[in-house]
A and B are shown apart, each in its own frame.
Chain A
Amino acid sequence: MEVLKEEGVDTIFGYPGGVIIDINDELDKTDIRYILVRHEQAAVHAADGYARASGKVGVCLVTSGPGATNTVTGIASAYMDSIPVVVFTGQVPTSLIGNDAFQEVDIVGITRPCTKHNYLVKDPEKLAETVREAFYLARSGRPGPVLVDLPKDVSQSKISFEMPPPPKMNSYSPHTEPHKQQLERAIKLILKAKKPVIFAGGGVILSGAYKELTKFAKKLNIPVTASLMGLGGFPGTDRLWLGMIGMHGTYRANMSTGACDLLVGIGVRFDDRVTGKIDTFAQNAKIIHIDIDPTSIQKNVPITIPIVSDCKIALKKLNKLIEKVDLKEPLKSRPNWLKQIEEWKSTTPLAYEQKDVIKPQFVVEKLYELTKGKAIITTEVGQNQMWAAQYYHFDQPNHFITSGGLGCMGFGFPAAIGAQLACPNKTVIDIAGDGSIQMNIQELIVAVANKLPVKVAILNNRYLGMVRQWQELFYGKRYAATDIEAAPDFVKVAEAYGAVGLRATRPEEVEETIKKALATPKTVFMDFVVEREESVYPMVPAGKAITEMLLA
């Protein structure tokens, strides 16, 4: 407990069970806020949302066996998105480990490939030190989830306690400072480039490099795109903003990546949803890649100048280096490049047509308008997630919270609960699909019980829409297993839990519904009955180059 306080923990998401009764008992005597979720998966997503909105480490506490296995999806999602979360799992007493005891699972074995690191604490004397290490690992370097498995006898033992010093580990020292020569080489390339593009990722958000990136791009007049995870790393309303890149990226972002002569990747990992057909990706460009994780570099695409570093530190130093440079000559060709991009933007913008049935994009645009772009948006997974990314223009970091790498349905609602707890004064909205929301809908009671004014905007197309879209385009419109017309009445569900339920079935009701929800200081479900067969465009079919987009 003392260590938790020392690490600045103020909120824990959890669910109890036999082997952690002692811990919950002790926790109850502290002023750490304990949020009792209704499913352990949601505890991890909530901790994840909490971590992203607050910049702190998210913390969970669950029991052994099924409690532990229920966390795996949440852990995997946090791992893919490099989110600092510490998960404490109860374990059967050390004397029983390996005996197939009641509610025993080898959770350390199960989560080995989806945690940054994990521990089984066998010796009470090592407990405090291990917990400190866990927090240190979770938040430092490339962040990620760390699991600590606590056998019942270890958490029951009473020992004299002394706060261990901050951990120093022989085998772990993240490389945060960039190599000076590499920075200088990078500057040279950047000054020579005629058609550069900056490609920002989650690393920009995680390292808090928003200001540095904005300064860098503006000073050099370089357009910026971002991966799903990088949204908000650069102002989404700036004239240099290209929109998102990748499978559902904007036309201009994908075209300019295809045409650029220099790509500066910052805190990205060149995921396949971004690159499309890998050997065609940015094929005319030299690539500078800044990332704190050396394994991300050269993993998927060949890099001209690798820079292993914390993104913020690297950008700060790059900004310093260009301070003294005369930029007149190097920037001479920029207007031409930006004009070309402007042309792509005006000929092929993101677009939809609002007729008599509500278009999901229209709902997102209205949400953007009516929250003045200031809400924290979480998403579920599928079309709802892509429309949120395309039509809500994030001007600030830590305001877009989505399961990017794992693409985990059921993420958005618990994550919104976590974000709302971290930022009680912000508007927090989960942009949801009708399928995904049903994957953690039980958390409604958690939002209600804790009086959280979380808003959920369900883009209700009665389909597992993203899969249906693939079936429409590539499987001859055979909608196998994706029609979910058989659905609960979301308004009544909300009401049954003590929340507020609203529904909009016509376009003219959308604004009114959102206004009403925003004015209600309670948990609100908004059920937007939208066009069933609307699809997300542009779309790059799997295996194609990102410049080969389907536009409608």
Chain B
Amino acid sequence: MTEERKHTISLLVDNESGVLSRVAGLFSGRGFNIESLCVAETLDPALSRITLVTRGNERIIEQINKQLNKLINIRKVIDLTETEFVEREMALIKVRAKEEHRAEILRIVDIFRCKIVDVSPAYYTVEATGSDEKIAAILNLLKQIGIKEIARTGAIALAREAKK
């Protein structure tokens, strides 16, 4: 039995109602887990892309890929983990911005190339994008200052094109 690994799977699916629940139902019905999931239309309005992150050993991931392929509305299943790919997540983080912490927040924002997208007397809202490790690092630092609330996306990902 191989070790559990995180896999990012990209699906091209028919842009129809019910497709997402077919995917979600497959995962819940067969006891596979979904760590995150993102859906949006592609350039072709008939198709959507679902990016989902899951975890499992080789046998489970093989089943997940095959079962996804079997769903009628799924056009293409790409397990990006087997290739070179870029992956991003985004988080909006509302931090307590007391007078004495503002400089510190700005420094963190600068280091991680984030943006401040909303400012009020008591709070700054920080927009961060990057890998899940990067987001985790930012959260870790800002937590010490005081986070009021956060909203995060799941991962979105695309395969890298050949360099030559």
Contacts and interface: CB of A to CB of B under 8 A. Distances in A.
Interface of A: 108-109, 112-113, 116-117, 120, 137, 169-172, 293-295, 298-299
A298 B69 CA distance: 15
A171 B74 contact: yes
Interface stretch (B14-22, B90-98, B112-120, B151-159): B14-22
A519 B41 CA distance: 66
B18 A298 contact: no
A137 B72 contact: yes
B75 A170 contact: yes
A109 B18 CA distance: 8
B25 A112 contact: yes
A133 to B, nearest CB: 9
B33 interface: no
A299 B63 CA distance: 7
Contacts of B22: 112
Given A295-B63, A295-B66, A112 B21 contact: yes
B72 A298 contact: no
Given A295-B63, A298-B59, A299-B63, A113 B72 contact: no
B67 A113 contact: no
B73 A171 contact: yes
Given A116-B72, A169-B72, A298-B63, 15 more contacts: A108-B18, A109-B18, A109-B21, A113-B25, A117-B72, A171-B14, A171-B74, A171-B75, A172-B72, A293-B70, A294-B66, A294-B69, A294-B70, A295-B63, A295-B70
23 contacts: A108-B18, A109-B18, A109-B21, A112-B21, A112-B22, A112-B25, A113-B26, A113-B29, A116-B72, A137-B72, A169-B72, A170-B75, A171-B72, A171-B73, A171-B74, A171-B75, A293-B70, A294-B66, A294-B69, A295-B67, A295-B70, A298-B59, A299-B63
Nearest to A169: B72
Chain A CB within 10 A, most for which of B66, B67, B72, B75: B72
B104 interface: no
Contacts of B18: 108-109, 112, 120
Interface string B32-67: 000000000000000000000000000100110011
Contacts of A170: 75
Contacts of B75: 170-171
Contacts of A299: 63
Contacts of B67: 295
A298 B25 contact: no
A172 B74 CA distance: 8
A113 B18 CA distance: 12
A137 B21 CA distance: 20
B interface secondary structure, majority: helix
Given A171-B72, A171-B74, A172-B72, A298 B21 contact: no
Contacts of B21: 109, 112
Contacts of A298: 59, 62-63
B17 to A, nearest CB: 8
B163 to A, nearest CB: 31
A298 B58 CA distance: 11
Nearest to B69: A294
A298 B62 CA distance: 8
Contacts of B25: 112-113
| Complex A-B, nearest 8 residue pairs according to Cβ-Cβ distance, in ascending order | A295-B66, A117-B72, A171-B75, A294-B66, A113-B29, A172-B72, A295-B67, A112-B25
Contacts of B29: 113
Nearest to A113: B29
A500 to B, nearest CB: 45
Contacts of A137: 72
A108 B73 CA distance: 14
Contacts of A171: 14, 72-75
A294 B66 CA distance: 7
A267 B121 CA distance: 69
Nearest to B26: A113
A254 B88 CA distance: 53
A523 B14 CA distance: 49
A148 B73 CA distance: 15
Interface string B62-87: 11001101101111000000000000
Contacts of A109: 18, 21
A169 B72 CA distance: 9
Nearest to B74: A171
A172 B21 CA distance: 19
A446 B70 CA distance: 37
Contacts of B63: 295, 298-299
A281 to B, nearest CB: 16
A408 B123 CA distance: 61
A76 to B, nearest CB: 12
Contacts of A295: 63, 66-67, 70
A113 B29 CA distance: 8
B35 to A, nearest CB: 22
Contacts of B74: 171
A109 B74 CA distance: 17
Contacts of B59: 298
A525 to B, nearest CB: 39
A77 to B, nearest CB: 17
Nearest to B18: A108
A405 B75 CA distance: 29
A108 to B, nearest CB: 7
A298 B14 CA distance: 28
Nearest to A117: B72
Contacts of B26: 113
Interface in B2-31: 14, 18, 21-22, 25-26, 29
A116 B72 CA distance: 8
B22 to A, nearest CB: 6
B49 to A, nearest CB: 14
Interface in B128-147: none
Contacts of A293: 70
A298 B119 CA distance: 55
Nearest to A170: B75
B131 to A, nearest CB: 31
B57 to A, nearest CB: 12
A395 to B, nearest CB: 34
A137 B72 CA distance: 9
Chain B CB within 10 A, most for which of A120, A172, A293: A172
